[in-house]
Every structure is written in C-alpha cells, then in structure tokens.
Amino acid sequence: MSIPNTITLGRLLSAPLAVYLILAGELGWTFWLFMAAGASDALDGAIARMFRARTALGAYLDPIADKVLLVSVYVALGNVGQLPLWLVILVVFRDLMIVGGVLLAYTLKESLAMQPLGISKLNTAVQLVLPVAVLAPHGLDFTQPVFYGYDLVRLLVWLCTVTTVASGLAYLGRGRILFDRTGGIK
C-alpha cells in the first residue's frame, strides 16, 4: 500500500477514536485528533501529487475517509449536545441522499463525473470549520469570549444548514437531469 493510502487509512481509522473521545468528554483531545486528521488529508494529497503516487484506491478511499470522520464527529457531537440534533440529521441525510444518487446512477449504468459542485465545496468547508469552532475552546484551553465562541458557533450552524440544504438541492437537481436523460429505472 502506498504511503498516501496508508495515511488516508489512518485518518479513516481515527473516526472511532474521535467518537470515543467525544463520548468520554475528552473534547480537547478530540480537537487535536481532528486537527491532525485535517493535516493528514493535506499531507496524503501532497505526497501523492509530489511523488506521482495517485492510485485508484486513493481516489475512492480519501473522500470516504473524510466523510466517515466528519459524519462520525457530527453524530458524536450531536449525541453529547454540542451540535443540534436536527443539524446532524440534516448532514447525514444529505450524505445518504448523495450516496443513494451514486448507487442509482450505477444501477442505470451511467458514468458520473465525480466533480463536486461549487456549493458543495463551500458546504464541505463550513462542515469542517464548525466542529473546529466547537472543539477549539477545549483543545486550546481558552474561554468562548476570545472568539465570541457561541455566536461564532451559532453563525456556523446556520451557515452549515443553508449550505447543506443548497448543496443537497443542487445534487437533487443534477440527479433529476440524469434520471430524465436515462428514462428512469426500467
């Protein structure tokens, strides 16, 4: 297995540890684990490009590792009351809808360009920043007023809601076009 894929696998395996730490109330440690996972995402990509070590496995494994870690952290933070449960449900529902769309395209024997939409890139950025904002006061040992934490978190919750809904609707629109073009399931 290539070095970038090994790093990606490590990020994937960090998801259960992140969940455990959150449920155990170790939000400071979770912050640092989440930051290390983010750094590993940048590192595996840089190594793959620099050493021309891109692989088909890595192309699939990298976004899966990212999504598993992110959804796991959201579910755990929702479970301990650090994120609203309705937001956790919305984020998970959107991701399941996208996976369902990919499976439908596969069923219809349609090739998909796995290019994320612009709104989806913004949504991913917001979805990544939100847990950092929630966890940072614990990991950096400062009180919320330094960043006006609660207000920042509240703003990010609503921004995450808007971008999650918008990107979900955009993917639904894309799926509808595909469904109409292929004539649906026969």
Q: pLDDT for 8-61, tens place per residue?
A: 999 999 999 999 999 999 999 999 999 999 999 999 999 999 999 899 898 889
Question: What band does 180 get if pLDDT is binned at 50, 70 and 90?
Answer: confident
Q: Which domains does the chain have, with CATH numbers?
A: 3-182 (1.20.120.1760)
Q: How far apart are CA 67 and CA 71, in angstroms?
A: 6
Q: What is the pLDDT of residue 143?
A: 63
Please indicate whether residue 158 or residue 1 has the higher confidence score (pLDDT): 158
Give a three-class secondary structure readout of 144-170: HHHCCHHHHHHHHHHHHHHHHHHHHHH
- Could you give the 3-state DSSP secondary structure of residue 32? helix
Are the CB atoms for 14 and 72 separated by under 8 Å?
no
pLDDT per residue over 66-92, tens digit each? 999 999 999 999 999 999 999 999 999
